[in-house]
Amino acid sequence: MTRHVIIGGGPAGMAAVEAIRASEGQASSITLISDEPAYSRMVLPYYLAREISEAHVLIGDQAYFDRQKVEALLGVQVQKVDTQAHTLTLSDGKTLPFDTLLLATGSSAQRPSIPGIDLDGVHTFWTLGDAQKVIAKGQGTPEAVLVGAGFIGFIVLNAMAKLGWKLSVVEVEGQVLPRMLDTQGAAAVAGWLRARGVALHTGAQVRDISKAGNSSKLTLSLSTGATLSADLVILATGIRPNIDFLAGSGIAMNGGVTVNDRMQTSIPGIYAAGDVAAGPDLLTGTSAIHAIQPTAVDHGRIAGANMAGKETHYPGSLLINVLDVIKLHCASFGVWREEGREVTTVFNPTRPIYRKYVWEGDRLVGAIFVGPIDDVTMLNDVGMAKGLIQTKKPLGSWAQYVRSHPTDLRRAYVASGVADTLVRQTLLGAPARDRDYRMNDLKPAPWNKAPHAALVGSRPAKYTELKPTPTPGIGKNK
């Protein structure tokens, strides 16, 4: 019986479990080792905002592991991988053999080396344990300083804003969301935040964090000379793949663990998935770490199928960032930095609305959206732009239409048959099944397929049969 071993009970590891079982049934043994419970980090901000309970964070429990015939060693850490002997050394002193191995160990939050960084009240927000500490500390309406204005930091900022906390942000770069938005999009977000009472300190570094005597208040001194007072400091200053335990294993690495399009590392039989893996990028084909949950799940499914002997190739992951900043919706996809490419932009500073499409010929390869969350057209278009980029559809004459009518993506989307292409795309050759785990065995409400079917079914046989209309607005009735 093949012995599959998975390290990491996050989304990548759990997706691999289900892919192995879907392919092999229960013919093999699976052992899952994780030093934390099996849970999803990305919902922690909703737990912080008290929108979900702690139980909602979990993505597997003992009953689930029993059903999946998985031996779950939770609270155990893997300390060493011997790629010659095919064994693992565990923190409980045991040695575990494997036939195939998946490294799904994710990443960890970095703590910058600043004086006072270990003071009580200074926290990262990456693990369930972090979230529990911040919830315990953040009773009432504390003053909080977020250090690092990146994607993850801003998801936490949004949760803190929902709780009514008094917020300041410190970012070393000259703009907020530097790896998600260009300067114009970031300026729109900054204006929105300032108008909502969030104090922004961009181009500033925290030099020192201190606490006077028995006071519970922290003081942050910034490189700009400003000082900030805080009950809580949240550090969101970057993450690093969990690869230290692989030192000396001979597994090739390039920032994360290098994998091919089957998620296999440089050592046959050993795979990597999720935040820890540098896998193929859908648009560039180069190796990239996309530390987001959709990539983790895709990686896990591909790795699991290959571990089960079903040769499966991954087209690559698309960089996706979608964010709610106090009801200002922000999204970016793919190659959103122009770097010499043609762009189409729309900017209305009053709402504010900002859009940018990045082109390669008649294909959309990247996009940025910023706009109020109640702007229905924008929310629809965010999904459509992602579909256009993901399917790499050549738009033909519709590309010119979108260039001159950039807020009307829908016609080009329908005409080019993107929805239909997406519906037919599967990673493992069959539509993905619902996960086997639901909190308290709750079942999701039945899905109303009618609106979706209308979009998919309205595809003309050939998109070139549709001619762009000369004016924006309501389309001609045929």
Ligand X SMILES: Cc1cc2nc3c(=O)[nH]c(=O)nc-3n(C[C@H](O)[C@H](O)[C@H](O)COP(=O)(O)OP(=O)(O)OC[C@H]3O[C@@H](n4cnc5c(N)ncnc54)[C@H](O)[C@@H]3O)c2cc1C
Q: How many CB atoms lie within 10 A of CB 361?
A: 10
CB of 244 to ligand X, least distance (A): 8
Asked if 277 and 288 count as a contact pair (C-beta separation under 8 A), the reply is: no
Under a CB-based contact definition with an 8 Å cutoff, are residues 251 and 267 in contact?
yes
Measured from the CB atom, the residue of 102 and 456 that comes closer to ligand X is: 102
206: left (phi over 0), alpha (psi -120 to 50) or beta: beta
Could you give the maximum distance between any two Cα atoms of the chain, in Å?
A: 77
**Residue 276 C-beta: closest distance to ligand X, Å:** 6
Comparison of 291 and 353: residue with beta carbon closer to ligand X: 291
Tokens describing residue 147: 């250090």
Q: How far is the CB of 359 from ligand X (least distance, A)?
A: 26
103 Cβ contact list (under 8 Å, min separation 6) = 7, 8, 81, 246, 251, 257, 265, 270, 271, 272, 273, 276, 277
Query: How near is the Cβ of 9 to ligand X at its closest, in Å?
Result: 6
Helix (H) or strand (E) holding 200: strand 199-202
Nearer Cβ to ligand X (33/305): 33
Nearer to ligand X among residue 42 and residue 428 (C-beta): 42
Shortest approach of ligand X to residue 306 CB, angstroms? 17
Residue placing its CB nearer to ligand X in the complex, 152 or 409: 152
Least spacing, CB of residue 158 vs ligand X, in Å: 10
Residue closer to ligand X by CB (options 13, 468) is 13
Q: How far is the CB of 78 from ligand X (least distance, A)?
A: 4
Name the token pair of 232. 């809580």
Residue pointed to by tokens 């494997």: 98
CB of 376 to ligand X, least distance (A): 21
* Per-position DSSP letters for 22-46, written without gaps between them: HHHTTSSEEEEEESS-SB-GGGHHH
Residue carrying structure tokens 């690559």: 316
Q: Footprint of ligand X on this chain (CB under 6 A)?
A: 7-13, 33-36, 41-42, 44-45, 77-78, 104-107, 125-126, 152, 155-156, 242, 245, 274-275, 291-294, 296
Q: Rank residues 148 and 417 by Cβ distance to ligand X and give the closer one.
A: 148
What span, in angstroms and rounded, lies between the C-alpha atoms of 15 and 318? 18
Q: How far apart are CA 289 and CA 278, in angstroms?
A: 4
Q: Alpha-carbon torsion 173, 372, 336, 451, what sign?
A: positive
8 Å CB contact between 198 and 339: no
Which contacts of 309-314 are long-range, i.e. CB under 8 A and separated by 24 or more positions? 309/23, 309/24, 310/23, 310/428, 311/262, 312/262, 312/427, 312/428, 312/429, 313/261, 313/262, 314/261, 314/262, 314/263, 314/279, 314/280, 314/427
- Residue nearer to ligand X on the CB measure, 291 or 456: 291
Return the number of the residue (155 or 414) whose C-beta is nearest ligand X: 155
Nearer to ligand X, 107 or 312 (CB): 107
Minimum distance of ligand X from residue 86's CB (angstroms): 17
Instruction: Please report how close the Cβ of residue 115 comes to ligand X at its closest, in angstroms.
Output: 25
